[in-house]
Chain A
């Protein structure tokens, strides 16, 4: 039942591709010292390294904001697409339709997702586009100096004393309702949980939506904030303990089916979710949303994997695409065949 020891095993010097952690690092961060986003970048590096993702097969996508700068600070050997504010979901959709052989990791923030990008975000969720979508969630706009975002809790206080008077948007509830197939929340300071969730996210096929509470040390880490390190340390409430056994490792650890959900991922990896909350059921959307709503009432910040569905077809599966990426088809295949054109033309006579 000690399901988490696997993820705690000391990492070898090189991974299964023979690459070192160094190969997964990026540029030097320009974010504030202590920013939660930097810890998330670190965990992404660890997860990609440990899972043995080929860096050149990854597209990093982002919008605008502190969070969206962070792809420059990890996976320097991957392709990066730093789009405009709130528009990363559509850019990612187009890019994956044009080349579905690439893996996509999107990094957004609470402003980028829950305000200016909300229209795109909800439609991304409906599509179940195979990508990992991370919200680095600090409840404030950092680059414009600390205004509330739409995920800030009602009653939380800015440094200037301004109290937030509107309820937060729960991106996890939304994601579950709208069709994302892997939904969780974590905390940038919870290394173990975040790493396990990211590794499972890499193994998942479908939209992974991870809301990671990531305190802003400059504008939202004070008394009265509900997105501070202190608040999170006091109020984080894991709904389940997250363990992950990759497909290429032997499963040496038993688990108790009475207390632990074992989810077999698409690539043969195992996600082990040990219940910490009464009634936890990550395969049931209604239960998941109910528990999230209940947590709002008690003021606790529920973390963990809330919902996972490995059966639902992805957007790419549904579209009947040719195997080769559309973007690299040779010229003779980019135009309709003559017979097709003749048939089309006959309708216009």
Chain B
């Protein structure tokens, strides 16, 4: 990971925490630095506590990290809550008129800004924020230049006078800090690299657009709403039909209706909305209409903690809708992967005419990461499978098109409605090869069995198409950490820290949950002297799933279910504890009260 620099900005919702956060993230990104931003917030429009962490460095920055270099409390509450996060070398910038400092640790620089002397704070309610940004630019050795262009963009809808005033304010903060505060020991570096700064939600939306999505619908639900926002604001430009529907039941059925008529269609929601979609997922499976559903996990059950992260929906996904049917489930490993996974999963969904689930979580959905633009391939292969979209004057063999023709692969060529010679019935009832339902009058057991087997035969093809996971790090290590989805980055950093402390760790990160490739996983894990499964939930949902599929039992577990993501030291300490034989289940305490 190398040297990193982390800023924490906290205040009440409505105090303007997001703006300085965005400005810092952009400035860092334009200096050719990697950025990881995570916002801890609450389900409230005004008030409460919001705490934004922006971490940067010239190397890859995969998570929020353990340490804070600069704290900017915008209110007393933030000062009281978080001053103790700073260790020697850190600094706290605050408005001395409004906030009283607490007792800082040794070596922490308290930097009071006399806001009323530097600015007319009666006119500008967020003056203290801008002063602090200016001061930070000075202390971190960033200089002032990059700030102005970023501010102009950030305030592009505001009048020139407002922009000019903010530049003046930032200068005042900058000059004051240069004269009065000690700069950080390591100034923020600069490189020639250029990154795109993306949220996971934007990345999934863009990945969908790259995959050729033409229909997107959703019902707003945190933390998935960002996908809808991206889609809605780019609908016209990107030529995507975007609709907000009345509820998630309508969402999934609309998506299925559209997909059936030929488009690639997609929707996103969180656990509660997904629960409403279960019925529709079964419809997609029975009709063999491909559809891609994104689930951005929040902490559950029920309304749960709408603004907090968890990996608690796995079993809902595994069991969604009744009956047996083929499905695929994949969890993106980071924000860049939120993009790259989309075209891949659409191809699987289309080729096998099955529902596909992207199992994301708040950490990735709402987090932001610098992504190398080379990763963002807007021309990925589009494989629509056996789709008959045009007749070219020909009709099906013998004039008798069978939508659900029994084939060896289990996949039946799919004709779009409106094609002459390809008349068909799609039915949620079990049906014959021609779509005519078999539950009427009498149920034909042989036909039912044949259709079940036809659909389930697709599983073999799916397994062949989807890659098995591979081991990261050296083949032999003291410990193997197994994670899935969004924990990729934090486990990676924990391994680096462990190595510095003389413990070698390798990592098996699962991206495709269904199909799981159990044999390949067993092959990897059989040589590991100590295996620990790391996941962001209470019951070890993945551990239980892995066991049910492979009978594999790990040596230990690290779990967290307090709504906040893992920090590297949580994993490091738990691994050491477990290797010392003190525990087989570690549940790290989240020290930051957000």
Residue on B with the closest CB to A59? Answer: B417
Residue from the list B194, B209, B253, B440 in contact with A336, Cβ < 8 A: B209
* A344/B441 contact (C-beta < 8 A), A90-B257, A331-B382 known: no
* A98/B263 contact (C-beta < 8 A), A82-B427, A328-B390, A335-B210 known: yes
Chain B 375-391 interface 0/1 with A at a Cβ cutoff of 8 Å (1 = within): 01011001010000110
- Assess whether B258 is interfacial by the CB under 8 Å rule: yes
Residue on A with the closest CB to B368? Answer: A348
Contact A348 B196 (CB under 8 A): yes
Contact A329 B214 (CB under 8 A): yes
Distance in Å: Cβ of B542 to nearest Cβ of chain A: 31
Residue on B with the closest CB to A345? Answer: B196
Q: With a CB–CB cut-off of 8 A, which chain B residues contact A76? A: 423
Q: With a CB–CB cut-off of 8 A, which chain A residues contact B212? A: 331, 334-335
- Assess whether A77 is interfacial by the CB under 8 Å rule: yes
Contact A90 B382 (CB under 8 A): no
- Assess whether B237 is interfacial by the CB under 8 Å rule: yes
Contact A93 B378 (CB under 8 A): no
* 257-271 of chain B: CB within 8 A of chain A: 257-265
* 323-349 of chain A: CB within 8 A of chain B: 325-329, 331, 333-336, 338, 340-341, 343-345, 348-349
* 232-252 of chain B: CB within 8 A of chain A: 234, 237-239, 241, 243, 245-247, 249-251
Q: With a CB–CB cut-off of 8 A, which chain B residues contact A333? A: 239
Residue from the list A97, A119, A331, A334 in contact with B249, Cβ < 8 A: A119
- Assess whether A150 is interfacial by the CB under 8 Å rule: no
Distance in Å: Cβ of A321 to nearest Cβ of chain B: 7
* A27/B202 contact (C-beta < 8 A), A98-B261, A102-B417 known: no
Contact A348 B197 (CB under 8 A): yes
Contact B257 A325 (CB under 8 A): no
Chain B 130-148 interface 0/1 with A at a Cβ cutoff of 8 Å (1 = within): 0000000000000000000
Bound Cα distance from A296 to B591, whole angstroms: 65
* 33-70 of chain A: CB within 8 A of chain B: 56-57, 59, 64, 69
Q: With a CB–CB cut-off of 8 A, which chain B residues contact A123? A: 245-246, 250
* 5-25 of chain A: CB within 8 A of chain B: none
- Assess whether A120 is interfacial by the CB under 8 Å rule: yes
Contact B215 A326 (CB under 8 A): yes
Residue on B with the closest CB to A340? Answer: B237
Contact A102 B418 (CB under 8 A): yes
- Assess whether A286 is interfacial by the CB under 8 Å rule: no
Residue from the list A56, A83, A92 in contact with B423, Cβ < 8 A: A56
- Assess whether A91 is interfacial by the CB under 8 Å rule: yes
Contact A98 B257 (CB under 8 A): yes
- Assess whether B428 is interfacial by the CB under 8 Å rule: yes
* 286-345 of chain A: CB within 8 A of chain B: 319, 321-322, 325-329, 331, 333-336, 338, 340-341, 343-345
Residue from the list A72, A90, A328, A344 in contact with B245, Cβ < 8 A: A90
Q: Which stretch (B57-65, B357-365, B429-437, B457-465) binds chain A?
A: B429-437
Residue from the list B209, B249, B389 in contact with A120, Cβ < 8 A: B249
Contact A94 B418 (CB under 8 A): no
Residue from the list A56, A59, A84, A335 in contact with B279, Cβ < 8 A: A84
- Assess whether A218 is interfacial by the CB under 8 Å rule: no
* 63-85 of chain B: CB within 8 A of chain A: none
Q: With a CB–CB cut-off of 8 A, which chain B residues contact A30? A: 440-441
Contact B209 A64 (CB under 8 A): no
* A95/B437 contact (C-beta < 8 A), A326-B214, A334-B212, A344-B234 known: no
Contact B440 A69 (CB under 8 A): yes
Distance in Å: Cβ of A61 to nearest Cβ of chain B: 8
Residue from the list B196, B258, B262, B428 in contact with A84, Cβ < 8 A: B428
- Assess whether B508 is interfacial by the CB under 8 Å rule: no
Chain A 94-121 interface 0/1 with B at a Cβ cutoff of 8 Å (1 = within): 1111110110000000000000000110
Q: With a CB–CB cut-off of 8 A, which chain B residues contact A102? A: 261, 417-418
Q: With a CB–CB cut-off of 8 A, which chain B residues contact A93? A: 243, 245, 250, 254, 257
Bound Cα distance from A182 to B282, whole angstroms: 34
- Assess whether A255 is interfacial by the CB under 8 Å rule: no
Residue from the list B215, B239, B426 in contact with A82, Cβ < 8 A: B426
Residue from the list A79, A90, A91, A344 in contact with B237, Cβ < 8 A: A344
Residue on A with the closest CB to B202? Answer: A348
Contact B373 A345 (CB under 8 A): yes
* A83/B428 contact (C-beta < 8 A), A30-B440, A335-B209 known: yes
Q: Which of B243, B373, B424 has the most CB of A within 10 A?
A: B243
Contact A328 B262 (CB under 8 A): yes
Q: Which of A78, A92, A326 has the most CB of B within 10 A?
A: A326
Residue on B with the closest CB to A81? Answer: B426
Bound Cα distance from A102 to B436, whole angstroms: 22
- Assess whether A227 is interfacial by the CB under 8 Å rule: no
Bound Cα distance from A84 to B437, whole angstroms: 13
Contact B263 A82 (CB under 8 A): no
Distance in Å: Cβ of A70 to nearest Cβ of chain B: 12
Known: A98-B215, A102-B261. 18 other contacts (CB 8 A): A80-B435, A83-B256, A84-B428, A96-B261, A97-B254, A98-B258, A99-B416, A120-B246, A123-B250, A325-B261, A325-B262, A327-B261, A328-B262, A334-B212, A334-B382, A341-B209, A341-B378, A345-B373
**14 A–B contacts, CB within 8 A, in A order:** A69-B440, A72-B437, A80-B427, A91-B256, A93-B250, A97-B254, A98-B214, A101-B418, A327-B262, A327-B263, A327-B389, A329-B214, A344-B234, A349-B196
Q: Which chain A residues have a beta carbon within 8 Å of chain B's beta carbons?
A: 27, 30, 56-57, 59, 64, 69, 72, 76-84, 87, 89-99, 101-102, 119-120, 123, 319, 321-322, 325-329, 331, 333-336, 338, 340-341, 343-345, 348-349
